[in-house]
Structure formats: C-alpha cells, structure tokens
Amino acid sequence: MSKITLLEAVNMALQYELQRDSNMVLLGEDIGLNGGVFRATANLQSEFGPTRVMDTPLAESMIAGVAIGMAVQGLHPVAEIQFMGFIYAAMEQIVGHAARLRNRTCGRLSCPLVIRAPFGGGIHAPEHHSESTETLFAHIPGLRVVIPSSPKRAYGLLLAAIRNPDPVIFLEPKRIYRAVKHTIANDGHALPLDSCFTLREGRDITLVTWGAQVMETLEAAEVLAHKGVKAEVIDVATLKPLDMKTIYSSVAYTGRCIIIHEAARSFGAGAEIAANLAEHALQDLKAPVVRVCGYDTVMPLLRNEHYYLPSSRDIVTAAEKLVSFN
C-alpha cells in the first residue's frame, strides 16, 4: 500500500471496477487518450481499450443521453463531465430521464449510472470552471448526490456509487485533488452511501460540512480546541438522501450547529439542514443555527477566490459567537 491523492484514489476505484465488472464503461471528453483534464482516468484506456474507456465529442447532452441508454441496456456507465460548470447542457437528460426511469417504468427499469464532475473553486480557474451547484441536483427526486472529502472516502464512495442501481451524481472537489494523501488498500471495499461521517467528536458545537470545506472545518476545530471549545465535525458525504439522524444526534449533545459550504448562501443545502433542525430539533438548540457560506455571486476569478471561499478563520469567528450566545 502507498499513500495516494484523492485524484489517484478516483483512478484506482475506476480501475478496480473495470477489472471486476465487464459491463462497466467510461465515457467523456478527453478521458481516454489524454486521461482527462485532471488525469483522473490516466492509463485506463491503454489497459482496457477504447471500447470501454471512450473519448466523446464536446457534447455534454450527448454524453448524458448515451450513458442513460447504456445503463438501461445492461451496461454500467461512468460518464465524466469535465467541469461542473459544463453540466447544465446535460441536465435535461439527467433530470428528465435518468432520475425518472425507475418511477416512470414502475420499477421495470433502473438506471445504474454515475456522472462524475470536478466542482468547486480554489484553483484560480476562469468562469464556468468553479461552480458549486450541488443543490440543483439534490433537489431532484431519483438522484443521489455524493461528495468525497478525502482520498479514502473518494475510493470507497465511488465504488459504492458505481455498484448502486440508481443514478448518482459524484462531485469531486478539485481544490483537494492533490492536497492530501492517504494510505489506501486497493481491496474493493466500498463505503456506505446515504451516511454522514463523524470526523471529530466534541461537546460544545457541531460543525457540518462536505467536500473541500472539510479541510478548513477540521483546521477550525483544531484552533477552537486550543481555545477550550470542543467541536464535533460531521462530513455529510451523501448530500442526497441526507442523513439527518447523525446530525440530530450530534446537535442533541452539543446544542449548537454551524453549517459550512462554499456554494452560494441562498436556497443552498445549508438552508435545508437548518430547516430540518428547526422542525425536528428546536428544543435541543441552545442558539440559532448559523451558516458560513459562499456569497450570492458567481465565483470571482483568479486571485479573488479567497474572498469568496469560507476560511477556517470565518468558521472560528462564527463558532466563538455561537458558544457565547445567551
């Protein structure tokens, strides 16, 4: 076993499943010969051939439509959209067809499809390359939305997504593609979908987050610990369906909650979590639920990204205010 990055963990999971499942295919723009814009599929076409790792035209609607057709005919496609900002052309196929097939056919057909897309800011990319619009898909019945936050979770959750009988939107936070390395056994062990992961236990406040923001949240928890505040950190991991049971349990113990995400603040997943807490855990709360989020603007270009992305300092400041709330 060697230490690998999140990007390498994605590649390893795809390779494992291509070896295990002869019905699995990959398709996307430049994923074959070039190995993808981030090299997530590097060397897979040379190992498995162009009929299983397929380069496509620059046509996201076609990629999604072909992948859906493959899925209903017995294949297990994993389609890559180069950046989440390019996924909107594919939404009619994903929302109008992939998400509805099981319901439309009364269970006669399912759609075992994974759509991968790098998402989020932090790499100084131009417009359309830094989107965090995960809530668009979380709103759609019939879709799962899965977001890994580390190499270990990327490997295990991607395996679970590929083996799932229904469509999964698998969003990879590109800011941490190469940020950390984990030692991972390439043993095919999948992690559970539809479950949060408690990364750090605490008694004073619950910090709920996902994706790249897990890194800043854990940093904030460490700073708070030195200040005498013990924060519990929860990685949502599967945004839809949302494991509120784990969040309720934590908030019942700590009495306080901050939700952190880099997506725009209004109508985001943080608001959904806050609404659930207001409806079902109000008596456990000692203070209002707080959101630390991005702004209701397009992600700023290049060097201005850091003004938009929530920082560990922002989280610490919000937490200190919340624990002192009377």
Single out the residue of 224, 227, 178 nearest to residue 200, CA to CA.
224
Measure the CA–CA gap between 146 and 184, rounded to whole angstroms: 20
How many C-beta neighbours within 10 Å does residue 89 have? 15
Measure the CA–CA gap between 224 and 218, rounded to whole angstroms: 10
76 DSSP β-pair partners: 24
Residue 40 tokens read as 């997530």
Active-site residues, by number, are 129
For residue 4, what is the enclosing H or E element?
strand 3-4
Question: Which position has the token pair 């830094």?
Answer: 130
Single out the residue of 199, 192, 253, 243 nearest to residue 221, CA to CA.
199
Cα 67 from chain centroid (whole Å): 20
Question: Which position has the token pair 């992305």?
Answer: 309
Residue 115 tokens read as 């759509």
Asked if 155 and 102 count as a contact pair (C-beta separation under 8 A), the reply is: no
How many C-beta neighbours within 10 Å does residue 3 have? 11
